[in-house]
Amino acid sequence: MSVPLYEAKAELFRLLGHPVRIRVLELLQDKPMPVRELLAAIEVEPTGLSQHLAVLRRSGMVSAHRDGSTVVYSLAGGDVAELLKAARTLLTQMLTGQNELLTELLGAERESR
Amino acid sequence: MSVPLYEAKAELFRLLGHPVRIRVLELLQDKPMPVRELLAAIEVEPTGLSQHLAVLRRSGMVSAHRDGSTVVYSLAGGDVAELLKAARTLLTQMLTGQNELLTELLGAERESR
DNA sequence: AGCTCAATTGCGAAACTGCGCAATTCCTGA
DNA sequence: TCAGGAATTGCGCAGTTTCGCAATTGAGCT
């Protein structure tokens, strides 16, 4: 293997590490969408969106094809949904973990007063 | 929610977007480990490892406790394994997708000669 | 107390990322 | 064919990340 797997994973995560790109992937999960529609759904300048789309395209996560004067993007292959779901699960687990710790600490403080 | 979910996801992915941090999480999946052992397993300077561990600690993904003169790190709560597995799956899907496309293109070229 | 090893932190330099503006490409309709 | 909108690209600036060195903290040993 020329590129170790953990490098590839890190690279993948780095690609996903931007709110706009997450939004794009989430939106494309429902159905393919023209840029115009993505633009309407996400708060971002056209040029910024293009750049993020370019990143996703270069990485092979989405593919684009022209339809007349507009460009339509769609997810390319892989199970992105699963990854996003795992992220969501992990986030909620981490947050509840922190909450438990917090309430525990608060309880301890109350008792010590 | 003060922070939109997609922001939190992006943040999470950004945290994971470094090879050393990925390695650390992978190693900690098996069992808690002292820094010394992580250091032996990963190619990185002690100071660099410390910094990456600090990032993971601040984010709440790992926790550390002293044991004598060494510090032992362990995964904190959440199901990191699931996320890493999803990443691995997605990567292989993307790579095979590219391979198929490649062989398709090569086939087409051969035919056109 | 002084020494040493383990781990962390502070800091400055180098590399990278994201953003917006201006310019460009590609298509469509007059 | 040319004016217009859709989308992309090139480019420079500002902000962030990463890295290694030097300095610091904490624990065990004599």
Strand ranges of the sheet holding A62-67, from the earlier edge strand across to the other edge: A33-34, A70-75, A62-67
Work out the average pLDDT over A31-47.
Answer: 97
What integer pLDDT is reported at residue A75 of this predicted model?
A: 96
Mean pLDDT confidence for B56-85: 95
B-chain residues near A83 (CB < 8 A): 83, 86-87, 90
This model of the complex carries an ipTM of: 0.90
Which residues are A63's β-sheet partners? A74
Among A40-54, A99-113, B38-52, the least confident range: A99-113
Distance to chain B for A92, nearest Cα, Å: 8
**Can you tell me which residue has the tokens 């190619």?**
B43
What's the CA–C1' distance between A14 and C22, in Å? 29
Average pLDDT over residues B70-80: 93
What's the average model confidence in pLDDT over B34-54?
97
- Own/partner contacts of A19-22, CB < 8 Å, gap of 24 or more, are A19/B4, A19/B6, A19/B7, A19/B10, A20/A44, A20/A48, A20/A49, A20/A52, A21/A52, A21/A55, A21/A56, A21/B10, A22/A84, A22/B6, A22/B9, A22/B10, A22/B13
**A1 vs B93, residue with greater confidence:** B93
pTM, to two decimals: 0.90
Strand D nearby residues, CB < 7 A: A 34-36, 39, 46-47, 49-51, 53-54, 64, 69-71; B 14, 17-18, 20, 44-45, 47-48, 51-52, 55, 66, 68-69
Q: What is the DSSP string of B47-84?
A: HHHHHHHHHHHHHTSEEEEEETTEEEEEE-SS-HHHHH
Chain A interface residues (partner B, CB cutoff 8 A): 4-19, 21-23, 26, 60-61, 76-80, 82-91, 93-94, 97-98
Q: Tell me, in Å, how far CA of B8 is from C1' of D23?
A: 35
Chain A interface, best mutation among B7, B21, B83, by max A CB count within 10 A: B83
Give the count of beta carbons closer than 10 Å to the beta carbon of residue A97.
Answer: 15
pLDDT (0 to 100) of residue A95: 85
Residue B102 pLDDT greater than 60, yes or no? yes
- Asked if pLDDT for residue A89 goes beyond 60, the answer is yes
The size of the A-B interface in CB pairs under 8 A is 126
* Average pLDDT of span B18-33: 97
Which chain B residues 32-91 have CB under 7 A to strand C?
34-36, 39, 46-47, 49-51, 53-54, 64, 69-71
